[in-house]
Structure 1
Amino acid sequence: MQTLSLFFNLLVIFLVTRVSDAFTRKDFPDDFLFGAATSAYQWEGAFDEDGRTPSVWDTYSHTYSRYNGDIACDGYHKYKEDVKLMAEMGLEAFRFSISWTRLIPNGRGPINPKGLLFYKNLIKELRKYGIEPHVTIYHYDLPQSLEDEYGGWINRKVIEDFTAFADVCFREFGDDVKLWTTINEATIFAIGSYSDGLSPPGHCSPYELINCSTGNSSTEPYIAGHNMLLAHASASKLYKLKYKNKQRGTIGLSIYAFGLSPYTNSTEDEIATQRAQDFLFGWMLKPLVFGDYPDVMKRVLGPRLPVFSEEEIEQVKGSSDFIGIIHYTTVLITNPTPKPSLLSPRHDFYADMGVEFVHIGKYSLYEWESIPWGLEIVLEYVKESYNNPPIYVLENGKPMKHDSMLQDTPRVEYIQGYIGSVLNAIKNGSDTRGYFVWSLIDVYELLSGYMHPYGLYYVNFSDPGLKRSPKRSASWYTGFLNGKIDVTSQDITQLKRNFSGSSSM
């Protein structure tokens, strides 16, 4: 424990003090985008209106949770009100996703004219206020019809259907959309949906504490991840051949990125951290940048890891114009000590990775410490290991208990600390081009429903009109974006004091 404390304190002093200078919006590049984010199922509601059909997320939430996105915060009907809030805030960009089943109800085939009109109107409204739309094509909501027909992402047929869906998006919206993300946080999507069973469609091997009706945690996450890479590459190739010259947009893939740091300075923990980086970053990034999976994954997984053909290597390599980073928290990595157990050993992604996570300070699914240097570590690692690709931080935010209190000071401290870490990374050479707070307003959350939202705006879910009210974080972000707030040395000193007090070991 003393070794950890010494190492950790040195790391904190080294990294956190690097944001000791005051900064403002003007310290970022002129073309850097500050935005906020939502996704279709979490924001829109109107789950069965105007031709929309069920997705796997509808099915999953109605099967495994007491919460769902049937109404959510009704962005489908209230989008003009929400865009006006964005404009009043001074938001420069808005990240949202296209509901596959709202646009193409059968998963393939005819376009739903009412769904098409909704997204055209939303994009038009954003453009009217000078807000850049950043569109995610897929955010967990595969048409249930395709899941029923052939198993969704564990079947290569999904590549053709996804590419056709993307083609409709590019054709119909691409003149006004210059930033496209194909698949949301592909890494944690594959793990959560096909190893842990904690996200739609909820596949996993049957374990004592997990109630999955189907799945194989030792193979399906890698099959699904492989098909995601191929689907992304296929859509990217289509865009570049058919649309890019005219529309002048860019297209990328996003991954979920923990901040990763060794628990101690031992060789074992350093090797374990590198293994975690290969599994959690390299799994998707190495094929995108260098054309193939990390050697350690090949060695550990053997025939369970799919193999790219030579043609696929060439198609996947270089298929992302940028990398989307989704980051919330940081963990320390240690090499595990074998423990005898009466239970059958699990065979899943985390067992294959072979490391233990040590959470810093207080941690739960709904609350974690603010550790800004963790994001800087991520951006620095991607810069050094993957040829410094353009990066957008597509999600970053803090959940807090949903109640009538609008004074979300911990969220303000969290956001300003992480924005400071992005600026540090840029000053150190990272090609980071945007930062999006999750989320614009309180939305339906996969793991916590409506109990621990992330919104800058409070939504009164008991009010039939779902009234929006600005939290302190919305006011702070507004001031920052409009040049009326800078993060001062005193602010950073307080952040360091709060961090040190809450994370002592």
Structure 2
Amino acid sequence: MGIILILSCIIGLVVNAEVISRGGFPNGFTFGTASSAYQFEGAVNEGNKGDSIWDTFTRRPGRIMDFSNADTTVDQYHRFKVTIKEASYELRKLDILSRKLRTHLRCLPLSGIKPYATLYHWDLPQALEDRYNGWLSKQSIEDFERYAYTCFKTFGDRVKYWITFNEPHGFSLQGYDTGLQAPGRCSIIAHMFCRKGKSSTEPYIVAHNILLAHGAAFQTYQIHFKDRQGGLIGIALDAKWYESFSHKDEDTDAAQRALDFSLGWFLDPLFFGKYPLSMQTLIGQRLPEITPEMSQRLVGSVDFIGLNHYTTLYARNDRIRIRKLVLQDASSDSAVITTSSRGGVVIGKKAASNWLHIVPWGIRKLARYVKDIYGNPPVIITENGMDDPNRPFMSLNTALQDDKRIRYHRDYLSNLSAAIRIDGCDVRGYFIWSLLDNWEWNSGYTVRFGLYYVDYRNNLTRIPKASVQWFKDVLR
């Protein structure tokens, strides 16, 4: 994440998605947009910046779809004051790993923007990766706690909402199982990129250390800063909804396992002090142990849950488990096959990215699941959005008229409103990903998620899309 993260039916009920407004949400419900330091900031050689694992990763040939990097991206490092004027929303999710954060946090309150600060969004300093293999080492827990303490002490008078980690599930699997993201470790057979790693164990070690680091940061805040600063601590989890492929028990169980191996992987330890039973059963001794002492530190160590929700998939049972036999990786441990279609019919229209299908009812089901399983904790939708393709020969007028994005957010917000008003879910905020078009990790500049169009060929000029006016109208 970058200097400023602007934080960011199949249910049997018919949801009116035609009109959405602030009035459809409780008093105090907050709206915003999200961004990430690494994806926004650029200025790779300025401000005493050292290399991160993503700087190293992008220099390896073939890792990024369009062979780009984030050395400049949308130049947030130099243009943050302009961004603050553009983002006149109530909430702003900030990434602490920024070189001008102190200046940003002075400016935000003057603009009426409340910062939500994320401590870690994937860009681990390369020095720590070199010194002790980063998140594979228990030393990372101690270092993260010290880093969090420094941030709380320095910025806690202006930041009242803290997010320790962004999408640790995706980071653990993509970075240490498939090797498709930094630091690019894996042991999958015939993988042409990975130089080292062990896909069957490392994702679980990394996730375990991240959980313990989160718990340590939470306890540090409670002991040293809570009484004086009065802030809240959360964690942001990537959360697809998984719908059973059929009414068969085996597929219903598979959908539950898919949730256990994604959301439950992190929420069960934070609420129940142990990993989901399905994970314990299928992973066995490869799953690190949560001792009674660890459990005591983890349970209750969240004031709110952040959910980064974009899409929904069908889940069915993997009876034969051929993938497991061939690959020996963590992703196949759940014995689940996910798919975006059933009986030749897709679950929802596709956005630009192949993984992102537009399924508005999924957000309502997800909110109800968290309510029912985890006792209705406070939830913030910390990311929600869709992308358009970045077509170089598309006219500017066409690119700016992003009606599909407007429909996406309208329909997802309608279902979220129903989850709150009808289902009683304690959802308190909603962040759109993203404020600006930006560098989208492995996809580089091939897709655009932003409310604002960034002209990459003309001095990174920022132009509001139709969705900007729509969002402002919703907030009025």
The CA deviation at 1:267 is 1.0
* Counterpart for residue 414 of structure 2: 420
* Counterpart for residue 217 of structure 1: 199
Q: SS at the partner of 1:311?
A: helix
The CA deviation at 1:363 is 4.9
* Counterpart for residue 123 of structure 1: 105
Amino acid at match of 1:31: G
Alignment of 1:441-452 (within 5 A): 441-452=436-447
* Counterpart for residue 97 of structure 1: 95
The CA deviation at 1:453 is 1.7
- CA-to-aligned-CA distance 1:228-285 (integer Å, 9 cap, x gap): 0000000010011111111111001111111111011111111111111111111100
Please tell me whether residue 374 in structure 1 is matched to residue 362 in structure 2. yes
Q: SS at the partner of 2:187?
A: coil
Please tell me whether residue 163 in structure 1 is matched to residue 134 in structure 2. no
The CA deviation at 1:308 is 1.6
Task: Work out which of the residue numbers 227, 242, 262 in structure 2 matches 1:245.
Answer: 227
Query: How many pairs does the alignment contain?
Result: 450
Amino acid at match of 2:406: V
Counterpart CA distance in 2 for 1:163 and 1:198 is 28
* Counterpart for residue 175 of structure 2: 193
Taking a change above 3 Å as real, the CA distance of residues 14 and 35 of structure 1, as seen in their structure-2 partners, is same
Q: SS at the partner of 1:176?
A: coil
Amino acid at match of 1:468: R
The answer as to whether partners of 2:233 and 2:302 remain within 8 angstroms in 1 is yes
* Counterpart for residue 437 of structure 1: 432
Amino acid at match of 2:137: N
Task: Work out which of the residue numbers 57, 60, 65 in structure 2 matches 1:60.
Answer: 57
Counterpart CA distance in 1 for 2:224 and 2:469 is 42
* Counterpart for residue 36 of structure 2: 39
Counterpart CA distance in 2 for 1:34 and 1:206 is 41
Q: SS at the partner of 1:196?
A: coil
The CA deviation at 1:350 is 2.1
Taking a change above 3 Å as real, the CA distance of residues 146 and 164 of structure 1, as seen in their structure-2 partners, is same
Taking a change above 3 Å as real, the CA distance of residues 255 and 334 of structure 1, as seen in their structure-2 partners, is same
* Counterpart for residue 276 of structure 1: 258
Please tell me whether residue 411 in structure 1 is matched to residue 405 in structure 2. yes
The answer as to whether partners of 1:97 and 1:137 remain within 8 angstroms in 2 is yes
* Counterpart for residue 22 of structure 2: 25
The CA deviation at 1:205 is 1.1
Counterpart CA distance in 2 for 1:322 and 1:202 is 31
Alignment of 1:69-148 (within 5 A): 69-87=70-88, 91-99=89-97, 115=99, 118-148=100-130
Counterpart CA distance in 2 for 1:84 and 1:252 is 27
Q: SS at the partner of 2:388?
A: coil
- CA-to-aligned-CA distance 1:171-199 (integer Å, 9 cap, x gap): 11110101110000111111111111122
Please tell me whether residue 231 in structure 1 is matched to residue 213 in structure 2. yes
Please tell me whether residue 151 in structure 1 is matched to residue 133 in structure 2. yes
Counterpart CA distance in 2 for 1:410 and 1:151 is 42
Percent identity over the alignment is 40
What TM-score comes out, normalization by structure 2 length? 0.91
Taking a change above 3 Å as real, the CA distance of residues 359 and 19 of structure 1, as seen in their structure-2 partners, is same
The answer as to whether partners of 1:411 and 1:473 remain within 8 angstroms in 2 is yes
Please tell me whether residue 384 in structure 1 is matched to residue 347 in structure 2. no
Q: SS at the partner of 1:331?
A: strand
User: Unpaired segments of 5 or more residues in structure 1?
Assistant: 1-10, 103-114, 483-505
The CA deviation at 1:96 is 2.3
Detail structure 1 runs of 4+ shifted over 6 Å in the superposition.
Answer: none
What TM-score comes out, normalization by structure 1 length? 0.86
Taking a change above 3 Å as real, the CA distance of residues 458 and 366 of structure 1, as seen in their structure-2 partners, is same
Counterpart CA distance in 2 for 1:225 and 1:58 is 22
The CA deviation at 1:339 is 7.3
The CA deviation at 1:407 is 0.8
User: Unpaired segments of 5 or more residues in structure 2?
Assistant: 1-8
The CA deviation at 1:165 is 1.0
Amino acid at match of 1:26: G
Please tell me whether residue 51 in structure 1 is matched to residue 52 in structure 2. no
- CA-to-aligned-CA distance 1:295-350 (integer Å, 9 cap, x gap): 11111111100002221110011101111101111001111242769x96112222
Alignment of 1:447-462 (within 5 A): 447-462=442-457
The CA deviation at 1:30 is 2.0
Task: Work out which of the residue numbers 288, 296, 305 in structure 2 matches 1:306.
Answer: 288
Please tell me whether residue 316 in structure 1 is matched to residue 298 in structure 2. yes
The answer as to whether partners of 1:186 and 1:253 remain within 8 angstroms in 2 is no
Amino acid at match of 1:430: C
- CA-to-aligned-CA distance 1:430-475 (integer Å, 9 cap, x gap): 11111000000011101211110200000111123x1100011111
Counterpart CA distance in 1 for 2:109 and 2:321 is 57
Structure holding more helix per residue = 1
- CA-to-aligned-CA distance 1:57-87 (integer Å, 9 cap, x gap): 1111222221211101011110000100012
* Counterpart for residue 105 of structure 1: none
Counterpart CA distance in 2 for 1:302 and 1:420 is 41
The answer as to whether partners of 1:257 and 1:326 remain within 8 angstroms in 2 is yes
* Counterpart for residue 5 of structure 2: none
Taking a change above 3 Å as real, the CA distance of residues 351 and 164 of structure 1, as seen in their structure-2 partners, is same
Counterpart CA distance in 2 for 1:407 and 1:20 is 20
Please tell me whether residue 350 in structure 1 is matched to residue 331 in structure 2. yes
Amino acid at match of 2:303: D
- CA-to-aligned-CA distance 1:132-159 (integer Å, 9 cap, x gap): 1011100001000000000000111000
Q: SS at the partner of 1:18?
A: coil
Counterpart CA distance in 1 for 2:114 and 2:360 is 26
The answer as to whether partners of 1:140 and 1:189 remain within 8 angstroms in 2 is yes
